[in-house]
Amino acid sequence: MDMNTPESPIEWVPNPRAGTIDSSPAVAAAFPDGIFQEVQTFHRQIPGYRPSPLRSLGNLASMLGVGGIWVKDESQRLDLNSFKVLGGSFAIYRFIKAKLGLEDQALSFDELVSESTKAKLGDLTFATATDGNHGRGVAWGASKLNCKAVIYVHKDTSIARIEAIESYGAEVHVIDGTYDDAVHQASVDAEANGWQIISDTSWEGYTDIPRWVMQGYTTMLSETQEQLAGTGIIKPTHVFMQAGVGSLAAATAGFYSSRFGADRPTTVVVEPTKAECLLHSAKVGDGRPHNVGGDLNTIMAGLACGEPNPIAWDVLWDTVDAFTACPDYVAAKGMRVYATPLAGDPFIVSGESGAVTLGALMFLAEFPQFREQKDSIGLGPHSQVLLINSEGNTDPDDFRHVVWEGAASVPREYRWSPEYRAAR
C-alpha cells in the first residue's frame, strides 16, 4: 500500500462454511445444556447485580438504513466499567466448586465467600494476564474471597488501567512485551509459585477455566434476550462482535447458535488491523487458529492480542459469517458517535475496544464501496443489529484524547458525506 494512501476502514474475509453448519460440535462442547441458566443464576446472587442496560439508537438506525441498533451497555456492569467480571467471577466459582469436590452441587454466593469455605480452601492466589479489564475482574473476584491476586500486564498498559487493578488489592507485574508475552510469563510464574491461573485464553492442558470464562460472559446475552423480548423482538438479525483472543465473540456466537441453531443471527467479528489473529486464521482457511506477530500497538488495548484462544476459535470457525479488521480511526469514530448521539438517541460512554463495532457498522452501512459486503450479509431496512459496548471509560486520558481532541481522526478520503447516503 502507498504510504500516502490511508488504510481502508474495513478488511473483510467471508466465512461461507458457517452457513452450512446447523449444529456445531464445538458449540455443544463449550456450551452444554443448562449452562446459560446456571451462569445467570450465579451472577444474580452477586451483591449489587442488576442487568446492564440495552439501549436503542433508533435515530442512528434510521440514518444508516437499518431497522434498529441495540447496544448492550457493559459500562454499567457492577461498577466495574466492563463485562469482564462476568467471566472471571464464574470461572473462580467453578474452580472453587471443583476444588471442594462440589461439581454437581449448587454453591451460593454467600457460601462461596464464607469463612468456612475459605478455611477449606486455605491460602489461594489467583493469577492472570490482562490488557486491563479481565485483570480487574479477577482482582475483584479475589478480593471478594479474601484471596490474593497477581496480575500481569504488557508494557503499553496505561497507568489508569494498572491503578484500577491495584484498587482491588492485586499485585501488578508489568512485562516488557506484548499481551501474549504477559500470558506466557503469568503461566511460568504461576507454575513456579503454586498460583491458580484464571485466563480467558486456552493452551494445551489448560481448557476448563477458559471455557468457564466464556460461559460466564453469556449472562449478558441472556439478559439481552429478556430485554429484546420486552420490545417484541425475538432475536437480533445481526450481531457485530469485537474480538481480541476471541472469547467474548465465541461466547456471543456460541450462545445464539446454541439457542437458535440454523436460525441464529448473522455474525460479524471485528478486530484491530494491528492484531488481526482471527481474520488471519480465516484467511489461512485450514480450520486452525494462527498467530500474528508485531507489537500489536493499537488504541484498542483490550483487543491487542496476537494469539487466538483455540477453544474460542473452534466455535467462531463454525458460526461466524464474516471476519473483519479495522484501523484505529474506526474505533475512534465509534467513540465519538456514542458520545455525541443524534437528537433523541441516548448518550453512551464507550472505550476504544467497546466502540469499534459501531464504527465498522457505520462504514459498512454508508459507504458504497462496501455494498457487496453489506448485501452479502443481508444488512438492510429490516435488520435489528446488536452491538456490545464492552467497556466504558477505562482509560480517561486516552478517552479524552480521542473524544475531546480528535485523536485517531478519520482520513479525509473516508469522512462521511451526504453523497454516501444518496449512493447507498
What are the residue numbers of the active site? 84, 131
Contact status, residue 304 vs residue 244, Cβ threshold 8 Å? yes
Cα–Cα nearest to 16, from 318, 280, 263, 312 = 318
- Residue 188 corresponds to which amino acid? V
Pairing of strands 125-130, 196-197: parallel
Q: How many CB atoms lie within 10 A of CB 144?
A: 16
Sign of CA dihedral 272, 277, 278, 283: positive
31 closest CA partner among 240, 254, 199? 254
Return contacts of 163-167, CB within 8 angstroms, 24+ apart: 164/81, 164/132, 164/136, 164/394, 165/130, 165/132, 165/135, 165/136, 165/139, 166/139
Instruction: Give the bridge partners for 148, in sequence order.
Output: 125
User: What are φ and ψ of residue 203, in 5° steps?
Assistant: -150, 175
Q: Pull the grid cell for residue 418.
A: 451526504
Measured CA to CA, the distance from residue 61 to residue 233 in angstroms comes to: 16
SS3 323: strand
409 burial type by CB count under 10 A (0-12 exposed, 13-18 middle, 19+ buried): middle
Give the angle 37-38-44 at the CA atoms, nearest 5°: 85
Alpha-carbon span 377 to 236, nearest angstrom: 13
Rounded Cα–Cα distance for residues 71 and 347 (Å): 11
CA dist 262 → 8, 19, 24, 160 (Å): 32, 8, 10, 43
What whole-number distance in Å separates Cα of residue 285 and Cα of residue 110?
A: 47
Residue pointed to by grid coordinates 467462531: 316
**Helix boundaries (H) for 7-102:** 25-30, 35-44, 58-64, 84-99
